[in-house]
Amino acid sequence: MNLNSDMPSRFPSISIIVPVYNDLNRVGQCIDKLITLSHPTSDYEVIIVDNCSSDGTYDYLSSRLKKVTLPTMQLIKCAKPGSYAARNAGLKVARGDFIAFTDSDCLVSTNWLSSLSAKWAEHRGDTIIAGKVAFFSANDKLTEQSALDFENNFSMKQDENAVKGKCITANFFCSKALLDKFTGFNEKLKSGGDVEFSQRVVRAGGGVVYCEDAEVLHPSRNKKELLIKRKRVVGGTWDAELSTGGTKRKLRFCVGLVKMLLGRTKKTLYCSDISFSHKFKLIWLLLLIFYTSVSEFIKLQLGKETNRE
């Protein structure tokens, strides 16, 4: 449904798509940032896609968005579970020539859209812009120091992602034509659909470019949230390839988990910015994440359904 009856006389050049699921306490801050961007309000729209929240998020958004006059905002529902299904639902109603994705718990910088647009103009074509993701400590929960250290050293490294031909939807920008050309995201995936999409683009000759100036702040996750995320990531890999892969592919996945643990442990030991006691706690968290990954893989192998959250 469209909650803003005063529609602009021309189509906006950028559509911002934000999926939301049971995020009542944080989505309002996201909206606050989106309506104060330095980009001209007539040149962008915001589409918030509620993925059947059960905590009052939809009712809150229905009321909140009626009070927003500029930029144009829409609130729609997506009944199919999964953030990638929600993003695809947003794409169906998007009117912009370009699409910018972020998440309901993220805070965009004032120059976010302007920086993304300028970077795309330098490259054009089948190019995805991967904006910077930094972390802040949320006040509404306890976040352990080891979790903060993990986020700062290993999470959402968009500069590294771009080099590898990957981009995450916490800060993702490209033309709508590119998303249409590659038929959007794989809705079967609970996690990793953004990486899967960007790699499809790269394999077909496109590219991913990093943009340092287009910063988005993401709340640091605590231990519990990091472990839940690992289950989703393993599940996303399972849905994308492991469920139909042979024994060799599954062995390569397990070997990859070991290599990741060893690589991150080595990086932690050599990191000069972390004290010895913090290194010990971070390595223990790395072991927990490794155990969670292996445990989830075994459960999926035995018939468990992949996690939504």
Burial classification of residue 115, based on how many CB atoms lie within 10 Å of its CB (0-12 exposed, 13-18 middle, 19 or more buried): buried
Per-chain mean pLDDT for the chain:
91
Give the DSSP letter string of 247-309: HHHHHHHHHHHHHHHHHHHHHHHH-TTS-HHHHHHHHHHHHHHHHHHHHHHHHHHTTPPPP--
Task: Please report, for residues 21, 153, 215, 276, the alpha-carbon distance to residue 272 in angstroms, rounded to integers and kept in the order given.
Answer: 38, 12, 25, 9
Token look-up 């330098």 returns 122
- On whether the CB atoms of residues 61 and 29 are closer than 8 A, the answer is no
pLDDT value at position 86? 97
pLDDT value at position 243? 87
User: Which residue in 33, 47, 38, 174 sits closest to 113, CA to CA?
Assistant: 38
Per-residue pLDDT reduced to its tens digit, 254-306? 999 999 999 999 999 998 888 999 999 999 999 999 999 999 999 999 988 88
What the block records as the tokens of 231 is 């289950």
Instruction: Give the model's confidence band at 4: pLDDT under 50 very low, under 70 low, under 90 confident, else very high.
Output: very low
Dihedral angle computed from the Cα positions of residues 184, 167, 222 and 19, in that order, rounded to the nearest 10 degrees? -30
pLDDT value at position 3? 40
How far, rounded to the nearest angstrom, does the alpha carbon of residue 196 sit from its chain's CA centroid? 12
Helical ranges in the chain per DSSP H: 27-34, 57-65, 83-93, 112-123, 145-154, 158-163, 176-181, 193-203, 223-240, 247-270, 276-301
- On whether the CB atoms of residues 199 and 189 are closer than 8 A, the answer is no
Q: Across residues 82-103, what is the average pLDDT?
A: 96
Instruction: Give the model's confidence band at 155: pLDDT under 50 very low, under 70 low, under 90 confident, else very high.
Output: confident
Instruction: Give the model's confidence band at 308: pLDDT under 50 very low, under 70 low, under 90 confident, else very high.
Output: low
Which strands sit side by side in the sheet containing 172-175, from one edge to the other? 72-77, 44-50, 14-20, 98-101, 172-175, 127-136, 207-219, 107-108
Distance CA 275, CA 268 (A): 10
Whether the per-residue pLDDT at 162 is higher than 80: the answer is: yes
DSSP state of 220: P
98-101 and 172-175 beta bridge pairing: antiparallel
- On whether the CB atoms of residues 204 and 192 are closer than 8 A, the answer is no
What the block records as the tokens of 211 is 């943009």
Distance CA 166, CA 183 (A): 17
Per-residue pLDDT reduced to its tens digit, 29-59? 999 999 999 999 999 999 999 999 999 999 9
pLDDT value at position 143? 87
14-20 and 44-50 beta bridge pairing: parallel
Q: Across residues 201-222, what is the average pLDDT?
A: 95
Instruction: Give the model's confidence band at 227: pLDDT under 50 very low, under 70 low, under 90 confident, else very high.
Output: very high
pLDDT value at position 195? 94
Instruction: Give the model's confidence band at 239: pLDDT under 50 very low, under 70 low, under 90 confident, else very high.
Output: confident
Q: Across residues 91-117, what is the average pLDDT?
A: 96
